[in-house]
């Protein structure tokens, strides 16, 4: 039996690299899939917020927390996989990862870009939903202030001359 040639060794390394790249592609796809599910849930949350259906929010929050845990777990797995496969300490150095898999660069880059697109979409939806929640809370706080008679001294109204003036009377709308 003859010793393996340089060509045989290179072919074996290429096959191993391809298999490793395939595992990485699958990890990126899984994380992207989870982010897509999270984006869909955030869109559903947005619709619930717009409709003012606060009864549905606790269930959505539970689902969101579960998905966030799954996304964090998938991200950790991807980072560990990249470290193990490439020896790169910084999983954010995408070019180093791509350089490690020259034959699969295009595929890996497309999966990475899809992951980033989904992450940006999730971030935007989450920020928009957070803004909607904050506005709703401000309205509720304002209504409570009026109902409880709190904060009336902070309320400013216009006098007959169009000048802003604080409300001087502290009145409650009702007593129990």
Show the domains of the chain with their CATH numbers.
6-161 (1.20.58.300)
The overall average pLDDT reported for the chain is: 81
167 Cβ contact partners less than 8 Å away, ≥ 6 residues apart: 152, 153, 155, 156, 157
Per-residue confidence band for 33, with pLDDT thresholds at 50, 70 and 90: very high
Nearest Cα to Cα of residue 91 among 104, 81, 101: 81
Tens digit of each residue's pLDDT (9 = 90 or more) over 69-108? 999 999 999 999 988 888 876 666 788 888 889 999 999 9
CA distance 41 to 63: 8
> Model pTM greater than 0.75?
no
Cα(132)–Cα(135) distance, integer angstroms: 5
Question: What integer pLDDT is reported at residue 63 of this predicted model?
Answer: 96
> Which of 5-14, 15-24, 45-54, 83-92 has the least mean pLDDT?
5-14
Q: Do 31 and 78 form a contact (C-beta atoms < 8 A)?
A: yes
């Amino acid at each position: 039996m003859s010793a393996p040639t340089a060509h045989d060794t290179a072919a074996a390394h290429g096959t191993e690299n391809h298999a490793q790249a395939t595992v990485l592609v699958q990890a990126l796809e899984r994380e992207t899939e989870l982010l897509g599910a999270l984006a869909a849930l955030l869109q559903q949350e947005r619709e619930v917020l717009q409709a003012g259906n606060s009864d549905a929010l606790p269930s959505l929050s539970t689902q969101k927390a579960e998905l966030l845990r799954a996304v964090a777990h998938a991200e950790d797995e991807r980072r560990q996989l990249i470290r193990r496969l490439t020896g790169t300490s910084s999983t954010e150095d995408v070019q180093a990862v791509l350089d490690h898999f020259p034959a699969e660069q295009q595929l890996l880059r497309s999966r990475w870009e899809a992951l980033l697109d989904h992450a940006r979409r999730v971030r935007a939806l989450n920020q928009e939903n957070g803004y909607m929640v904050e506005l709703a809370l401000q309205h509720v706080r304002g209504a409570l202030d009026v109902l409880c008679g709190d904060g009336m001294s902070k309320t400013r109204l216009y006098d007959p001359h169009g000048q802003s003036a604080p409300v001087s009377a502290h009145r409650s709308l009702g007593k129990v």
